[in-house]
Amino acid sequence: MMISTSLALLLAVQAAAYPGTSLRETPGQEKTGSLTPPQPSPNIGEGVPGHQRAREDQCASVSPEAKPEPPLTTAAVLESAPDADWHTIADDRLLVMDVNGGRVLIELAEAFAPQHVKNIQQLARQHYWDGLAIVRAQENYVVQWGDPEEDEAKRRSLGEAKTKLPAEFDRERQALPWQAIPDPDAYAAETGFSLGFPVGRDSQRAWLLHCYGMVGAGRGNEADSSKGSELYVVSGHSPRHLDRNITLVGRVIEGMSVLTTLSRGTGPLGFYEKPEQRVSIERIRLASEIDTADRPRRQRLSTESASFAKLIEARRFRHEDWFVNKVGRIEVCNVPLPVRRSPESGD
């Protein structure tokens, strides 16, 4: 097996035009944010005699006050986010997939699966996936690509890439910046975001989550049987039962519609039964390999920024006029991860 959840789709901002400071995202370099539930304000008049409280209330009603800030909404948060809160994705961590007349952009999660990411980068430099195929499109689950040849002896060589990698299901939680979701989760003791990805953690370990758009490395029954050559993307309701069972390697930040609109496979688990049903991959490259004039460059809202903390709160409490029930809680996979085009982008 194996978004963008671009602003265009998620937030009507679309992956477009990114001014901003380029922030290199390594553990400890981005400022850490945290989010705690709003605490009830104390009763101003508590313990004050009624007549005195009435006078204070009267004075308060006539005292000049600053206009209250408008309620937080997704659109308001994104409009007010400063350029410093947008992180430019490094060219060697942006995988560019051209397929079926469209383009898919994948940010690689080097901090969580360093050996798999290194192998994927090597495979991309070797143009390993060029001419291979999307082999599976399972309704409300995943889209998968790689070498369709079932006979291992006839499969395309991995060249200089490694043929054996350790399972990278989780990592130590120390040194990771953290932006918390304050609401409970069914699968993890805590959930939140780190370095641009949805993450679960306990007292010792942290791991990527199978949210929509997340990309994983398919494997067999052996935990260490993935190489990064067979990849899949979550294209339906988040299959969180897969967390810590498969190595996740990144996230689609743009072009999910290219994959989700493919014809569904009719074979078991959504595999295409006939070769002519498969969708040929034109090419997969690292952005760093593409000529500057044509190179896509993207920025995402830093998950360690104050703006992202506000975004979480805006999604927990829906202040848009349409909402009757303001909700007041959220599940980690329902928080959008905004992306926009950098002004240096060549595409």
Q: Distance between CA atoms of 88 and 324, rounded to whole angstroms?
A: 37
Does residue 50 sit in helix, strand or coil?
helix
Q: Distance between CA atoms of 289 and 295, rounded to whole angstroms?
A: 8
Residue type, 92: D
Q: Distance between CA atoms of 83 and 301, rounded to whole angstroms?
A: 9
142: left (phi over 0), alpha (psi -120 to 50) or beta: beta
- Reading the block at residue 335, the tokens are 């928080």
pLDDT for 24 equals: 35
pLDDT for 252 equals: 98
pLDDT for 66 equals: 61
The model's pLDDT over 4-59, given as tens digits with 9 standing for 90+, comes to 433 333 333 333 333 333 333 333 344 444 444 444 444 433 444 444 444 444 44
pLDDT for 152 equals: 87
pTM: 0.80
- Apex CA 321: angle with CA 316 and CA 325, to 5°? 50
pLDDT for 335 equals: 98
Cα torsion angle, 59, 62, 66, 69, sign:
positive
Which residues of the chain carry a pLDDT beneath 70? Answer: 1-70
